[in-house]
Amino acid sequence: MKLLESKNIWANDLHCAFTDLIYFDNQFFCAFREASTHMSFDGIIKILISSDGQNWELHSSIKLNDIDLRDPKFSITSEGKLMLNVGERKQEEKKAIFSSLNFFLEKNNKWSEAFRCETGINTWRWSTTWHKNKAYSMAYTGKHKLGAIFSSADGIKWDLIQDNIFPKALERGNETSIVFKSNDAYCLLRRDGGTHFAMLGFSKPPYDSWEWKDLKQYIGGPKMLQLKDDFLVSGRFFQDKEVFTAIGILNPRSLEFEKFLKLPSLGDCSYPGLVLKDDIVYISYYSSFKDKKTAIYFAKVKL
């Protein structure tokens, strides 16, 4: 892999972080959270667009009063609509309560109202993957501290497939990225307890039983795409006391990274979005550098 370019596409005095990227309607869409700090309760979602990856403009902002919006994640529904799922975080009786929201880009190029399914209250469906006209999403925190998988036909009404699916209950599994190879499902899971090592999960239909394998390294803000036989993986890594965002090709048989590339990044960073087009990987991510301010970046990597 070769880094072709990494450029700053958004920066200000606020904490800009937690990105995602998709190519839809002949444009790149990049979403991220903008707030006072990493964990403040005033997060809003910003969406940038670009037709060429060089010139970016603000498409829209999503804000809900007294709600911290976090970690926007794109997907394209079975009907070809652009969907954005977001975590909402509210402070109730000195506790942070998470729930799951979905927005849809309408024909007037504006975002719909926030859709809340009752199954998403007090849990966080962190990202969504569509497969054979159905959406699948892993949830964590709140009522699903041990993880749960949901499905939906429309991205609005969600049904629980199975709960208590994460491995090693005390090791705090949380953020996930799901891909499908034929009908087999694979899940990249971040863990913040025990060894903190990420795990790769495997399941067959109806996806109610999962086998997990240890990847022997930490991966935060995980994102995974399917290649022909392997997986393209990006996220936050630790190495020699250094924290950085990287991208690599994971062999699901050996569980090793056959190729690995660090992106220009440091400290508070990661949460990448990935788009693969014509052997070029387009990556959104955020990073703080020595001035400790965070900004949004867009990179191109040649496979």
Give the gyration radius of the chain's Cα atoms: 18
What per-residue confidence (pLDDT) applies to 290? 73
What per-residue confidence (pLDDT) applies to 245? 97
**% of residues, the chain, pLDDT over 70:** 99
The pLDDT tens digits of the residues spanning 53-88 come to 999 999 999 999 999 999 999 999 999 999 999 999
Return the residue matching tokens 């508070």: 268
Burial 112-146 (b: 16+ CB within 10 A, else e): eeebebebbeebbbbbbbbbeeebbbbbbbbebbb
Q: How many helices and strands in the chain, by DSSP H and E?
A: 0, 24
Apex CA 43: angle with CA 298 and CA 136, to 5°?
A: 70
In terms of Cα–Cα distance, which of 171, 172, 178, 170 is closest to 138?
178
Q: Which of the residues in the chain have pLDDT under 50? A: none
3-state secondary structure of 172: coil
The pLDDT tens digits of the residues spanning 27-58 come to 999 999 999 999 999 999 999 999 999 999 99
Phi, psi of 169 (to 5 degrees): -50, -35
DSSP structural state of residue 15: E
What per-residue confidence (pLDDT) applies to 94? 81
Neighbours of 102 (CB within 10 A): 27
What per-residue confidence (pLDDT) applies to 42? 97
> Which structure tokens are listed for 277?
């087009």
- What's the CATH class of domain 2-302? mainly beta
User: Where exactly are the structural domains of the chain?
Assistant: 2-302
For the chain, the farthest-separated pair of C-alpha atoms sits apart, in whole angstroms, at 51
> Which structure tokens are listed for 81?
């609509």
For 272-294, the DSSP string reads: EEEEEETTEEEEEEEEE-TT--E
